[in-house]
Amino acid sequence: MSLYHSPGERRITRREILIALAILAVLAAVLAAIFLKQEAEARRVASAHNLQQWGIALNLYLIDNENQLPEVGKDPVTPEQKKAWFNALPPYISQTPLAELPAGQRPRPGGPSLWIDPSTKPVKGWDPEVFFFNYGMNKSLQPVEGTRSFRIFEINYPANIVFMTEVAGYAPGIGPEDVVFRHDGAKPTSPKAEARVLFCDGHVQFVTRQNLVSDPNGLSAAAAETGVSWFQR
Q: From first to last of the 233 residues of the chain, give the pLDDT tens digit.
A: 444 455 566 677 888 777 777 777 776 666 554 444 545 445 555 668 999 999 999 999 999 999 999 999 999 999 999 999 999 999 999 999 999 999 989 999 988 899 998 888 898 888 989 999 999 999 999 988 889 999 999 998 999 999 999 998 889 999 999 999 987 666 888 998 999 999 999 999 999 999 999 998 898 998 899 999 999 87
Of 74, 75, 79, residue with least CA distance to 90: 79
Q: How far is Cα 64 from Cα 58, in angstroms, rounded to an integer?
A: 10
pLDDT of residue 43: 54
Give the whole-angstrom CA distance, residue 148 versus residue 162.
Answer: 18
Number of Cβ within 10 Å of residue 88's Cβ equals 21
Question: So what's the pLDDT on residue 22?
Answer: 73
**Cα–chain-centroid distance for residue 35?**
21
What does DSSP assign to residue 121? P
Q: How far apart are CA 219 and CA 231, in angstroms?
A: 6
Distance CA 156, CA 231 (A): 9
- CA 91/CA 164 separation, integer angstroms: 18
End-to-end alpha-carbon separation of the chain, Å?
A: 85
